Chains A and B, each alone.
Chain A
Amino acid sequence: MSRAEVSPRATSEASSAGAGRTTWTAAVTRWVDGLVPKGQWLPDRQPVYVASWIYVFGVACLSSLVVIIVSGLVLTLGGVTWWHTSSFGHFVNSVHLWSVELFFATMVIHMWGKFFMASWRGNRGMTWATGALAFFGSLGTAFTGYLIQTNFDSQWISTQAKDGLNAAGIGAYFNVMNLGQMVLWHVSLLPLVVGGIVTVHVVLVRRRGVAPPIDATDPTADAGEKVAT
């Protein structure tokens, strides 16, 4: 596949540099450009302190999400009850289940790591908060997945879970015993919500960079003088 030819004419890239532009398009371009510092969208270098296996669990979690989405999309091809009657469908369901277990395992290990590193330091509070929200969003998404298995598990889980949701007033609008409603929440609404939160989370991570070690001194400040904590 050949690469698209670059037009010799002026492009939006060139015009976005002109900060004086007042078009809405230019404003959006400036906003996107400013989301993360220049060169930090996908840098090929990281601060030297990023040297521990604990740093790989965020990416491992993201990878698990990819496997979840791909296996989930394959399941949607056959419909809600397909996997009960097709051995391939059952296999895809198994991949979906185990990628979810891996997703939560890696996400929780990622959270343990970030907690012990206090990675919310240096104005990274929203990074932690969006990560925590992604966790809770994932809980809800996984839960609706259990409800739409259309098997004994779904019967039991839905009839049990309704009581807590009803007591909180949520069940009045979110009926866990309504299969049709739960299918749509699980395959459309909730994945979009989780995907959106995860996107914001990743942008925030790239925006602020990886939190420096606790008690680290600013290497650009006067020779190794410790920053008071």
Chain B
Amino acid sequence: MITQLLAVSQPVPAGPVVQWGWLTITVANLVVILAMVVVFVLALVLPFPSDREDEDR
């Protein structure tokens, strides 16, 4: 009965999760967080377009 119950109450399958010890995180959240870290690192590393001639003084 329990399995039957779960089958009807679960129209959408749960997304995958990854687990390291006590840390559990959904892949969707992990992708968002990793993307943020990557964008942050790129923002620090990539050269910012600038034109020396725009400088004054």
Contacts and interface: CB of A to CB of B under 8 A. Distances in A.
Interface in A98-137: 101, 105, 108-109, 112-113
A44 to B, nearest CB: 10
B32 A53 contact: no
Interface residues of B, number: 14
B36 interface: yes
Given A105-B32, A105-B36, A109-B36, A54 B43 contact: yes
23 contacts: A45-B56, A48-B55, A51-B48, A51-B50, A52-B43, A52-B44, A53-B42, A53-B44, A53-B46, A53-B48, A54-B40, A54-B43, A54-B44, A55-B48, A56-B43, A57-B43, A101-B32, A105-B36, A108-B36, A109-B36, A109-B43, A113-B43, A219-B57
A184 to B, nearest CB: 29
B35 interface: yes
Contacts of A56: 43
A218 to B, nearest CB: 14
Contacts of A57: 43
Contacts of B55: 48
Nearest to A52: B48
A195 B48 CA distance: 30
